[in-house]
Amino acid sequence: MHISEGILSPGVLIAGAGLTAAGVAIGLRKLEIEEIPSVGILSAAFFVASLVHVPVGPSSVHLILNGMLGLILGWKAFPAILVGLSLQALLFQFGGITTLGVNTLNMALPAVVCYYLFKQGVGRDSRRSVFMVSAFACGSCAIFLSGLMVGLSLYLTGEPFLPVAKLVVAAHLPIMLIEGFLTAACVLFLRKVKPELLGENHVAECIRGA
């Protein structure tokens, strides 16, 4: 979902950068020192997962894992994704520096939305059927929302980009299923080895602090 440089209008770029700066500020405010290693590991997982990408017009299709990051990190997904995208832009020229704000917003905001929608469903006290469905829906929904935001970013740049925007959304439909299954598998594993990461206490804390 990296949007290349030289595509988006200045207004879209500025708005994306401003909203991303706000999201990163909130994420850093919620970040505790002892959480930095786990956030770094998840940022690395995001970095690796999205390295293999298929170009689709001015954007690309690839795994993201933003639903998984959202479940565990909440608002802290903003700085985690920003770091991953920055390294990809600098090392591999994926996306670009000028589009860093928009690309981060398109992947991190759906992660935060899915946190509020599905975190309680994958809590430690949830039944197996509930948390598996919630985890699958979280992974799929995050990709769907990111695809919509990429399409919206292109459409707001100019109506001629509307066919490309529709193509980008359609191209991510198969990725929705893959990410849904991956997120469900990751949640199942975490419930066995690190269930506190999926605890419901973090939901209440995030809602109080937002």
Q: How far apart are CA 71 and CA 163, in angstroms?
A: 32
pLDDT tens-digit series, residues 138-153: 999 999 999 889 888 8
5 within a domain of the structure (yes/no) = no
pLDDT confidence band for 124 (50 / 70 / 90): low
Range of 101's domain? Answer: 10-209
Sign of the alpha-carbon dihedral angle for 7, 10, 11, 17: positive
152 inside domain = yes
> How many structural domains are present in the chain?
1
Q: Let me know if residue 4 belongs to a domain.
A: no
What tens digit of pLDDT does each residue of 48-86 get? 877 766 666 555 667 788 888 998 999 999 999 999 999
Per-residue confidence band for 114, with pLDDT thresholds at 50, 70 and 90: very high
- Alpha helices (H) in the chain, listed in sequence order: 10-30, 36-49, 66-73, 77-92, 100-118, 128-157, 162-171, 173-193, 201-209
Is residue 95 pLDDT above 80, yes or no? Answer: no
- Indicate whether 44 belongs to any domain: yes
Question: 154: domain CATH number?
Answer: 1.10.1760.20
Most distant pair of Cα atoms in the chain: their distance: 49
Residue 22 sits at the vertex; the CA angle it makes with 34 and 42, to the nearest 5 degrees, is 40
Q: Cα(first)–Cα(last) distance of the chain, in Å?
A: 27
Report in angstroms the alpha-carbon separations of 88 from 7, 157, 174.
18, 24, 23
- For residue 55, list its beta bridge partners: 60
% of the chain at pLDDT higher than 70: 87
Q: Does the residue 2 lie in any domain?
A: no
SS3 32: coil
Dist CA 207 CA 204 (whole Å): 5
What's the pLDDT tens digit per position in 153-179?
888 888 777 887 788 778 778 888 888
